């Protein structure tokens, strides 16, 4: 029978199937960070259980880490709770024998950036992490989803996850992207079309020429936000671009084993006659750079758009949500997106903290200064991204333009460390969530691509990067 | 985990759609290394003013709703992050049942692991319960998991669907890991097979 890519990976990982269809899905890779794991390790300890396959687990602290230089190490982290949480992770990885990139390791960084960078993420695998943006790894044709802490404990103890199968959805983007339009614009446009619950219950496969033409970095950006569309996992079939990215990565197979692996990865695609429960088709040529205006990722508009009126929506619930978002964001219906002034700019996160994202922002900034009233920061997604960017001189471009050049981490994507918006401050951000309070209490977030954020930094308001 | 028993109590209406996990438990409270004690921070940014005082407009701060055991919520409740702190916080508040037209997947699964029953119902049924909930303290509801039905304050009943396995685990208070451990032979066999088929993994 014809199978989708999801069907193939799923079928290859069912370790046990109960009569009611509930499956034990075998998990090949498990990434662990400091926020969602302490209670899982505590659970193991309390029940006298061990980690079944420590070699399949990789741990890193990313959410809480300061993005100032780590002089004095963990002990010098001022915030008590952050320090305790990172120390708890350090103690847990030692006790349970798990590999850990510590806060001074060059390989450290946001969990979803370092997995691919190390070749820890490979096609055809099942990958989990106690973090919803695990969907990122689907860019390699791996079935990757976020799990809760109880499930983290379950995977640590059994290397499996209790799962029922999701439905299949395919989003096809035909044609090539116009100039100035990026992977971020694609993924946000999809959410604008399908809504934040549009993918609930589905695994979303991205296909079509525009996806095939994306680099791995771009594909990761697309899959990263699958969860913002409600889908637990995003998938892109691996191809020559995928293999070229992975070849030579520290954890990727080598020699004959590499050839054998690539042979098997070539089977990872949706059969021509496979049936999807839901299909969405879009045309790349119709896309223009976009940004969000409200407090849900589905509040996205082309940059030439205007802030909506609540009455633009038919149903009452959406009208109420729109009014609430307008009040929170301090915006007037009908105003142009490009008239929205900003105070801060954040370039970084697992959505857009990779080298290509930094290059894209730097290309816009080169030779420019950021607007007077704007404070801007760039947070590389990992230590390796930071080093490479410095080798290429990107740090200098950012600093010359007036950006603050930081150490890697999640930073102001969720503002668990000191990098936060103040109440009322408005930020052009390359991250993935514009929820109320996400980047700081009463902070206001506009999501966009790195190039668009750089352009906004220069102008001091949202702007079309193509006009620069 | 405690066994899930029939829940009788007040239901709090939260008609806002897309109540996300950052609203349920803002990130500044994720720094704990424990599961307990998060209830006081649940819905913090809607529930408290900047100075820490209570916002009387928030439903759970209103007389009659303080001891609610049920939430009737707008569409797509729990969207956003995978943080299990969300159901921990809600559970710590004493909430046992959440009823909505839809839930985000990860949040939905997390509820069951923490003795909370999320119930999906069609819009018209949720509307009905939302109206009942707005009537406040006298309009208590009963959620009966065994018979999969909700009894409204006026005696009407609404049936709901739930996966048999999830129902069983809630009712018995079963620990997933213990159950999976009983299938360890299947896992061993699977690992051995995969070691041959995909040795690079
Ligand atoms: S960068 Fe943001 S979205 Fe990504 S893992 Fe960190 S906090 Fe989550």
Closest B-chain CA to A256: B200
A39/B194 touch (CB, cutoff 8 Å), yes or no: no
Task: Check if the beta carbon of residue B161 is closer than 8 Å to that of residue B148.
Answer: yes
Write down the ipTM of this complex. Answer: 0.90
A89-133 tens-digit pLDDT: 999 999 999 999 999 999 999 999 999 999 999 999 999 999 999
The residue of chain B nearest to residue A80, with distances taken between CA atoms, is B31
The model's pTM: 0.94
pLDDT digits 0-9 by tens, A286-336: 999 999 999 999 999 999 999 999 999 999 999 999 999 999 999 999 999
- For tokens 């985990």, the residue is B1
All residues at 6 or more sequence positions from B84 whose CB lies less than 8 Å from its CB, including other chains:
A36, A39, A130, A148, A149, A150, B110, B113, B114
**Ligand 1 centroid, distance to A447 Cα (angstroms):** 14
Strand order from edge to edge, sheet including B149-151: B7-9, B141-144, B149-151, B157-159
∠A438-A346-A390 over CA atoms, to 5°? 140
| Residues in the ligand 1 pocket, defined by CB under 6 Å | A 62-63, 110-112, 131, 133, 349-350, 410, 413-414, 431-432
8 A C-beta contact, residue A56 and residue A29: yes
Q: Which bin fits A42, alpha (ψ -120 to 50), beta or left (φ > 0)?
A: alpha
In tens digits, what is the pLDDT along chain A, a chain of 468 residues? 899 999 999 999 999 999 888 899 999 999 999 999 999 999 999 889 999 999 999 999 999 999 998 788 899 898 999 999 999 999 999 999 999 999 999 999 999 999 999 999 999 999 999 999 999 999 999 999 999 999 999 999 999 999 999 999 999 999 999 999 999 999 999 999 999 999 999 999 999 999 999 999 999 999 999 999 999 899 999 999 999 999 999 999 999 999 999 999 999 999 999 999 999 999 999 999 999 999 999 999 999 999 999 999 999 999 999 999 999 999 999 999 999 999 999 999 999 999 999 999 999 999 999 999 999 999 999 999 999 999 999 999 999 999 999 999 999 999 999 999 999 999 999 999 999 999 999 999 999 999 999 999 999 999 999 998
CB atoms inside a 10 Å sphere around CB A448 = 31
- Beta-carbon count within 10 A of A373 CB: 10
Residue nearest to atom 4 of ligand 1 (CA): A350
Sheet of A278-283: strands edge to edge?
A: A233-235, A202-207, A167-174, A278-283
Tell me whether residue A256 is exposed, middle or buried, using C-beta atoms within 10 angstroms of its C-beta: 0 to 12, 13 to 18, 19 or more. exposed
Task: Tell me, in angstroms, the distance from the centre of ligand 1 to residue A63's CA.
Answer: 7
Q: Whose CA is nearest to atom 2 of ligand 1?
A: A413
pLDDT string in tens for chain B (201-residue length): 789 999 999 999 999 999 999 999 999 899 999 989 999 999 999 999 989 999 999 999 999 999 999 999 999 999 999 999 999 999 999 999 999 999 999 999 999 999 999 999 999 999 999 999 999 877 899 999 999 999 999 889 999 999 998 999 999 998 899 899 999 999 999 999 999 999 999
B1 contact A CB<8A: no
SS in 3 state form for chain A? Answer: CCCCHHHHHHHCCEEEECCCCCEEEECCEEEECCCCCHHHHHHHHHCCCCCCCHHHEEEECCCCCCCCCCCCCHHHCCCHHHHHHHHHHHHHHHHHCCEEECCCCCCCECHHHHHHHHCCCCCCCEEEECCHHHHHHHHHCCEEEECCHHHHHHHHHHCEEEECCCEEEEEEEECCCCCCCCHHHHHHHHHHHHCCCCCCCEEEEEECHHHHCCCHHHHHHHHHCCHHHCCCEEECCCCHHHHHHHCCCCCCCCHHHHHHHHHHHCCCCCCCCCCCCEEEEEEHHHCCCEEECCCCCCCEEECCCECCCHHHCCCHHHHHHHHHHHHHHCCCCCCEHHHCECCEEEECHHHHCCHHHHHHHHHHHCCCCCCCCCEEEECCCEHHHHHHHHHCCHHHHHHHHCEEECCCCCHHHCCCCCCCCCCCCEEEECCCCCCCCCCCCCCEEEECCHHHHHHHHHHCECCCHHHC
Which of B17, B109, B201 is opposite residue A148, by nearest beta carbon? B109
Q: Does B83 touch chain A (CB under 8 A)?
A: yes
Put simply, the answer to whether B187 touches A147 (Cβ < 8 Å) is: no
């Amino acid at each position: 029978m014809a199978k989708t890519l999801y069907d193939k990976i799923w079928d290859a990982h069912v370790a046990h199937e109960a009569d009611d269809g509930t499956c034990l899905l075998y998990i090949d890779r498990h990434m662990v960070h400091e926020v969602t794991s302490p209670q899982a390790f505590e659970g193991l300890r309390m029940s006298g259980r061990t980690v079944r396959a420590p070699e399949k687990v990789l741990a890193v602290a990313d959410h809480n880490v300061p993005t100032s230089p780590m002089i004095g190490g963990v002990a010098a982290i001022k915030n008590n709770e952050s320090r305790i949480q990172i120390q708890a992770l350090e103690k847990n990885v030692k006790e349970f024998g798990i590999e850990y990139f510590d806060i001074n390791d060059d390989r450290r960084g946001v969990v979803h950036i370092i997995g691919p960078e190390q070749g820890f993420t490979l096609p055809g695998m099942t990958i989990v992490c106690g973090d919803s943006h695990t969907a990122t790894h689907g860019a390699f044709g791996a079935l990757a989803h976020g799990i809760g802490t109880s499930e983290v404990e379950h995977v640590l103890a059994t290397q499996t996850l209790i799962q029922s199968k999701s439905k299949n959805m395919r989003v096809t983007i035909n044609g090539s992207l116009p100039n100035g339009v990026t992977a971020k614009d694609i993924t946000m446009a999809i959410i604008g079309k399908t809504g934040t619950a549009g993918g609930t219950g589905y695994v979303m496969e991205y296909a079509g020429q525009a996806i095939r033409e994306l680099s791995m970095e771009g594909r990761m950006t697309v899959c990263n936000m699958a969860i913002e569309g409600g889908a637990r996992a995003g998938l892109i079939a691996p191809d020559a671009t995928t293999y070229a990215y992975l070849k030579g990565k520290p954890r990727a197979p080598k020699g004959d084993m590499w050839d054998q692996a690539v042979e098997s990865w070539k089977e990872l695609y949706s059969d021509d006659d496979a049936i999807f429960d839901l299909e969405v088709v879009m045309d790349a040529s119709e896309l223009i750079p976009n940004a969000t205006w409200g407090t849900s990722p589905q509040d996205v508009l082309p940059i030439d758009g205007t802030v909506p009126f609540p009455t633009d929506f038919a149903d009452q619930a959406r009208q109420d949500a729109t009014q609430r978002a307008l009040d929170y964001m301090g915006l007037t219906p009908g105003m142009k997106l490009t008239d929205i002034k900003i105070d801060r700019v954040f370039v970084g996160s697992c959505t857009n903290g990779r080298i290509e994202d930094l290059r894209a922002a730097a290309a816009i900034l080169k030779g420019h200064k950021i607007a007077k009233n704007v404070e801007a920061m760039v947070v590389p997604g990992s230590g390796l991204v930071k080093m490479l960017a410095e080798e290429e001189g990107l740090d200098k471009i950012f600093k010359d333009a007036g950006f603050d050049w930081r150490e890697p981490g999640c930073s102001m994507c969720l503002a668990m460390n000191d990098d936060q918006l103040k109440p009322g401050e408005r930020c052009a951000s390359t991250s993935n969530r514009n929820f109320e309070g996400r980047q700081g209490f009463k902070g206001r977030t506009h999501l966009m691509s790195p190039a668009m954020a750089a352009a906004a930094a220069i102008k001091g308001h949202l702007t079309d990067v193509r006009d620069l | 985990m405690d066994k899930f028993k029939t829940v009788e109590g007040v239901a709090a209406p939260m008609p806002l759609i897309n109540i996300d996990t950052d609203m349920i438990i803002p990130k500044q409270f994720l720094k704990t290394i424990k599961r307990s004690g998060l209830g006081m921070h649940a819905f913090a940014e809607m529930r408290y003013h900047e100075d820490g005082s209570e916002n009387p407009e928030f439903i759970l701060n209103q007389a009659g709703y303080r001891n609610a055991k049920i939430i009737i919520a707008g569409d797509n409740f729990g969207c956003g992050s995978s943080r299990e702190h969300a159901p921990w916080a809600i559970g710590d508040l004493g909430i046992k049942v959440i009823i909505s037209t839809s839930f985000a997947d990860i949040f939905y699964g997390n509820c069951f692991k923490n003795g909370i029953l999320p119930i999906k119902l069609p819009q018209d049924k949720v509307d009905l319960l939302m109206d009942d909930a707005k009537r406040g303290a006298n309009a208590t509801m009963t959620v009966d998991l065994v018979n999969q039905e909700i009894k409204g304050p006026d005696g009407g009943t609404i049936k709901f669907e739930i996966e048999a396995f999830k129902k069983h685990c809630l009712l018995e208070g079963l620990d997933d890991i213990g159950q999976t451990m009983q299938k360890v032979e299947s896992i061993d066999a699977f690992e051995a097979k995969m070691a041959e088929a995909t040795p690079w993994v």
